[in-house]
A = this chain, B = another copy of it.
Amino acid sequence: MAVKDREKKNSRLKVKIGSVKLPNPTILASGVLGVAAGGLIRAWKDGAAAVVTKTVGLQPRSGHPGPRIVGLYGNSLMNAMGIPNPGIEDYLPEINAAVNQSIPVIGSALGSSPEEFAKVAVALRKAGVTAIELNVSCPHVGSLYLLGMDPQSTSAVVSQVVKQTEKEIPVWVKLPGSTDYPRLVQVAKAAEKAGASAVVALNTLPALALDVESRRPLLGAGIGGLSGPAIKPIAIRAVWELYQSGLTIPIIGVGGILTGQDVIEYFLAGASAVEIGTGVLTRGSTIFTQICDELTEYMKRHRIKRITQLTGRMKSQDVKT
């Protein structure tokens, strides 16, 4: 089915993330398929409303030695890619190829200082991305994870990026995979105050898996990031905590989404859109259309006109924390 036809069929699924309007709530998560333009285009043709690029910095990075991924019990995954990327300059052709096809591209940026983040963001903006996603949360690269756990540092990065991009482009902050909710809320609020347009919750959780024969970590880098079904209830908990904290910018949920039901769960907890990574492995790159079909079926059965009506609508009067 052509993209246009699909959008018509799934008209109940339109969402807004601040000023960013999307035909459905599913977004390709950073680091999946996105090293090459062809991967971004494929995800979009297979139903993703927008695609996040591989996280990119100023300088090229080779990433960690292999193994870089390992599958665990229950379709969960750990990865320690180490954010390989050719550096923003050499990555621009990939972005251009996708942007030229009018695909909403979200540029994921990292940096070793607020200035570096901003330089990457400025280049991304020039390339025509729809929004910037700041990766202050990778659990297996340097001190990114700690940066995203610190409200001040995150605020400094966001301010600098917002300033250098002249407030002309939405800036999303991707939060660390953490269970430290007071801190996550503080970081999110600091980001909001510094001008962020949305938060993305969560990145992978820091984890360790060992091979008992060689007695070594199963990933080349040792520590890796846990993704997939294992982290879904943890990320949904975080989304709900952020939602009811008084944060006013939208929340994009991410972690372990495999089905339309999973997306509804995220919405009920407070999400306005979702990103999908590991699910591409489990259900293939058409997971996006599959999920949109499942969502439309759900919406019809429940006679809900717009999926946006579901955000934060968990019946929660009894919820204790």
Interface residues of A (CB under 8 A from B): 64-65, 72-76, 78, 140, 149, 177-181, 183, 205-210, 212, 214-217, 220-223, 226, 229-234, 236-237, 240, 256, 258, 261, 264-265, 268-269, 298, 313-316, 318-321
Report the minimum CB–CB distance from A22 to chain B (whole Å): 21
Having A206-B234, A212-B268, one finds 5 other A-B pairs with CB under 8 Å, namely A72-B229, A74-B74, A208-B269, A212-B298, A223-B237
Q: Which residues of B contact A236 (CB under 8 A)?
A: 207-210
**A64 to B, closest residue via Cβ:** B320
Minimum C-beta distance from A76 to chain B (A): 7
Q: Is the CB of B209 within 8 A of A233?
A: yes
Tell me if A208 and B233 are in contact (CB < 8 A): yes
Chain copies in the assembled complex:
2
Contacts A75-B74, A178-B180, A315-B215; A226 near B222 (Cβ below 8 A) = no
Contact, CB under 8 Å: B237 / A207: yes
Pair A314/B217 contact, Cβ less than 8 Å: yes
- Tell whether A222 pairs with B316 under 8 Å between CB atoms, given A74-B76, A76-B230, A179-B206: yes
Q: List residues of chain B with CB within 8 A of the CB of A264.
A: 210, 212
What would 11 A/B residue contacts be, using CB atoms closer than 8 Å?
A73-B229, A73-B258, A178-B180, A181-B206, A209-B265, A210-B268, A215-B314, A215-B315, A223-B319, A223-B321, A226-B233
In angstroms, Cα B32 to Cα A160, docked, is 51
Instruction: Looking at the assembled complex, report how far the CB atom of A296 sits from the nearest CB atom of chain B, in whole angstroms.
Output: 14
Closest 5 CB pairs of A and B: A74-B74, A222-B319, A207-B233, A230-B230, A208-B237
Q: Which residue on B lies nearest to A75, using beta carbons?
A: B74
**Contact pick for A234, options B207, B217, B220, CB 8 Å:** B207
Q: Which of B177, B216, B223, B261 contacts A315 (CB 8 A)?
A: B216
**A240 to chain B: which residues have CB within 8 Å?**
208
**A268/B215 in contact, CB under 8 A:** yes
Q: How far is the CA of A124 from the CA of B179 in the complex (A)?
A: 32
Nearest-Cβ distance from residue A31 to partner chain B, whole angstroms: 18
CB distance from A301 to the nearest CB of B (A): 10
| Inter-chain contact A73/B75, CB cutoff 8 Å | yes
A240 CA to B231 CA in the complex, in Å? 20
Partner of A229, one of B65, B217, B230, B237: B230
Q: Contact between B313 and A74 (Cβ–Cβ < 8 Å)?
A: no
Residues from chain B with a CB closer than 8 A to the CB of A205 are 179, 234
Query: For residue A258, which residues in chain B have a CB less than 8 angstroms away from its CB?
Result: 73
Per the bound structure, the CA–CA distance linking A207 and B268 in Å amounts to 15
Q: How far is the CA of A222 from the CA of B214 in the complex (A)?
A: 42
- The CA of A226 and the CA of B231, in the complex, are separated in Å by 10
Contact (Cβ within 8 A) A222 B318? yes
